[in-house]
């Protein structure tokens, strides 16, 4: 676990919880590195393959809010080694995350790869941009084939990230992943059906 991520996540109350469970020594003198404040090629590839993520914000009353964000694969863009961005399309028009970020720009993202049981956690600060505010960034995150109304751009400045262990992640598969997995079986079935049809035709002569 990256020490930089723990710098943010571990508070006095977290320390108390660790002590209660006799786990404080595991992290009290943790001599981790601080290299997890910049994305590497490994994170870049992982992020580019995601078609959804979970986004947490905090309201002015202190209540947390977690939102699922989905789109075409790779819609969360890596702008540089410390910056992410994504197009914000119209949804149910509650604008809870948008409002929360106006008051408190801190966010936490969970990116899941269920088939491979991998999870990337990201702390970031969020900035809302108008569509005409940064044309090159708008062009980067816009997918013309995705038929939804684009309302704004969110740019995220990385604070720290961490990879979680795979324990308790139940593998799940999308429709596309299942379709790709069974395609060789479909191809083989078509081949066998063609062979059977040819044999029946010969027997009928």
CA distance 192 to 84: 48
CA distance 164 to 5: 11
CA distance 51 to 23: 35
CA distance 101 to 65: 11
> Stretch 80-92: mean pLDDT, rounded?
93
Q: What is the pLDDT of residue 35?
A: 63
47 neighbors 111 (Cβ within 8 angstroms): yes
125 neighbors 74 (Cβ within 8 angstroms): no
- Per-residue pLDDT band for 167 (boundaries 50, 70, 90) equals confident
Query: Of the candidates 121, 48, 41, which has an alpha carbon nearest to the alpha carbon of residue 86?
Result: 48
Q: Architecture of 36-172 per CATH?
A: Roll (2.30)
Distances 172 to 1, 11, 109, 116, 159 between C-alpha atoms, Å: 25, 33, 19, 9, 29
Is pTM beyond 0.85 here?
no
Q: What is the pLDDT of residue 95?
A: 92
Q: State percent of the chain over pLDDT 70.
A: 95
Can you give the residue ranges of every domain in the chain?
Answer: 1-34, 36-172, 173-205
């Amino acid at each position: 676990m990256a020490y930089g991520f723990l710098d943010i996540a571990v508070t006095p109350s977290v320390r108390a919880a660790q002590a209660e469970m006799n786990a404080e020594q595991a992290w009290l003198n943790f001599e981790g590195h601080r290299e997890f404040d910049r994305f590497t090629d490994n994170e870049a590839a992982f992020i580019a393959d995601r078609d959804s993520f979970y986004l947490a914000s905090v309201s002015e009353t202190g209540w947390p809010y977690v939102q699922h964000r989905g789109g075409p694969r790779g819609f969360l863009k890596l702008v540089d080694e410390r910056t992410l961005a994504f197009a914000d399309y119209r949804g149910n028009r509650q604008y809870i995350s948008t409002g929360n970020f106006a008051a408190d720009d801190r966010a936490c993202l969970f990116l899941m790869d269920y088939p491979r049981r991998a999870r990337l956690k990201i702390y970031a600060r969020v900035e809302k941009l108008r569509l005409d505010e940064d044309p090159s960034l708008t062009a980067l995150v816009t997918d013309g084939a995705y038929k939804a109304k684009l309302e704004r751009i969110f740019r995220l400045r990385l604070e720290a990230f961490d990879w979680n262990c795979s324990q308790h992640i139940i593998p799940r598969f999308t429709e596309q992943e299942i379709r790709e997995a069974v395609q060789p079986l479909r191809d083989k079935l078509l081949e066998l059906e063609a062979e059977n049809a040819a044999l029946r035709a010969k027997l009928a002569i």
